[in-house]
Amino acid sequence: MSRNQNTQLLSILPPLKLSGLSRTIIKNIWIGIKKCGGNWKQHVQSNVVHAFKRTDMKNGGGISGPMGDTISANKSRCRKITLKIPTNSGDNINKHQAPHKTITVYIVWYPDSVPPNIDAMMSRIVAWFCFIVPFVRPDCGCSDHTDVFLLLTSHDSVMPTSGEKLVSDKLFSAYTYTCRKHNEMYVMRQSVWFKALIHESFHTFGLDFSDASFEPVKQVIRNAFPGIANNVEIRLYESYTDIWATICYTIFSVRFKPTRSNATQRRVVNAVPFITIEKELHRQCCFAVLQSAKMLKHTNSSIHSMISRSNSKKYTEELMVFSYHVLRPLYMTDLNRFIEWTARHNDTRDYLRFRVENIEAFARLLTDVLTTDWSSVWHKSGEVLKRLDVNGFLSKTACLSHPI
């Protein structure tokens, strides 16, 4: 991305300045990650190269990937690594919880994939799981064993051409199940694998509210957006999860940024680099609004029409554009407010684990955002969109988060 386009992107929202409360949460995450940044191999139970052999693939056998392909020995390579991740952090010990969760990671790459750096990938994977697993509620037996399939395909998430129908294969990058005892997670794009892994982990380990019933709360959202049809799915938990996934992805990326002297060595920083984190989070918030403008333009819709009570033609959708590209970016226009809300409504110690009794309060937070000057922000993003190179990254990508 050129310097000019980067400047245009960052002009969509005012620079982010984290409040004291927001900084406390960011600092807690930074310290937690730092504690988890040791030698990843100490958590390995088994490490197998070429986990799938040709003899295991007879009669069309193999693992069916989310994009309809099959992982087989004649067109892919695989590394299978089984980890034991402690469920208790040093200051959070629960005698009634199993001491470990077992996570088996399958890293699969194809002939057109960029050959993965297994050591660098596993350093991030283990650090993330060691950080997030202690947040799992100890009494639920959630995801005691999880199989994680990282399918490093070269397929990027791209915007459809004008008039082309939105399809899940081009937009979505991963899926999992909420809080099964023996769970599975699939990530299917090499370009966004780590951000997608973080997002799905919130569902896998039951840290969001995707398994909760909140039909009355959905009415709060429908009242705020009377211009949406009844077929529009309101997955508020996806908005919440992806904002936190973006925040965590940003902090991890800053923490694990390679040094100039050694491209594979993780940078160790004692003080939290708040200025760098603020700049990167600001970029993510601007990018979220720009992506919203692109998607709404493609679907011939607008937030104005969605909040209008006089619009005779209601907004309809087949994919989750509303939750990801309307609700999520609206929350992100004031990221401080979102982080502060989490700090005040989740438990002090388990601040990343959503408390289901607060779903309605989270929905009403959005109605507060709608009282701000969001309209000028979307107008500015539309102006930026007109000036972008039609063949450039910002015009073509359909990713939810900006790569770091």
Q: Same domain, yes or no, for 259 and 379?
A: yes
Q: Same domain, yes or no, for 43 and 29?
A: no
Q: Same domain, yes or no, for 67 and 188?
A: yes
31-39's contacts with Cβ under 8 Å and 24+ in sequence apart are 31/272, 32/89, 32/131, 33/127, 33/131, 33/251, 33/252, 33/255, 34/255, 34/268, 35/89, 35/90, 35/130, 35/131, 36/126, 36/127, 36/128, 36/130, 36/131, 37/123, 37/127, 37/255, 37/266
Q: Same domain, yes or no, for 155 and 272?
A: no
pLDDT for position 69: 46
| Domain boundary residue, one of 154, 186, 207 | 207
The strands making up 100-109's β-sheet, listed across from edge to edge, are 44-49, 77-86, 100-109, 145-152, 182-187, 174-176
Enter the tokens of residue 147.
Answer: 């199989």
For the segment 62-67, the average pLDDT, to the nearest whole number, is: 46
| Domain boundary residue, one of 162, 181, 207 | 207
For the segment 90-108, the average pLDDT, to the nearest whole number, is: 74
**Model pLDDT for residues 175-211, shown as the tens digit of each residue:** 999 989 999 999 999 999 999 999 999 999 999 998 8
Q: Same domain, yes or no, for 260 and 164?
A: no
Question: By residue range, what is the domain housing residue 369?
Answer: 1-35+212-404
Is a pLDDT exceeding 90 seen at residue 372? no
Between 88-92, 106-110, 333-337, 356-360, the lowest mean confidence (pLDDT) is in: 88-92
Calculate what percentage of the chain has a pLDDT beyond 70.
88
pLDDT for position 242: 97
Q: Between residues 311 and 132, which one has the greater pLDDT?
A: 132
Nearest to 317 by CA among 157, 167, 177, 159: 167
Nearest to 331 by CA among 248, 403, 238: 238
Q: Same domain, yes or no, for 307 and 203?
A: no
Q: Same domain, yes or no, for 349 and 299?
A: yes
**Distance of alpha carbon 352 from alpha carbon 134, whole angstroms:** 10
Q: Same domain, yes or no, for 40 and 27?
A: no
Q: Same domain, yes or no, for 187 and 131?
A: yes
**Distance of alpha carbon 294 from alpha carbon 238, whole angstroms:** 19
The total of structural domains in the chain comes to: 2
pLDDT band at 73 (very low <50, low <70, confident <90, very high): very low
Q: Same domain, yes or no, for 149 and 122?
A: yes
**Model pLDDT for residues 234-270, shown as the tens digit of each residue:** 999 999 999 999 999 999 999 988 755 544 444 445 6
Q: Same domain, yes or no, for 148 and 257?
A: no
Alpha helices in 1-140 (DSSP H): 3-10, 20-35, 118-132
pTM of the shown model: 0.90
Q: Same domain, yes or no, for 40 and 13?
A: no
| Domain boundary residue, one of 207, 223, 242 | 207
The amino acid at residue 256 is F
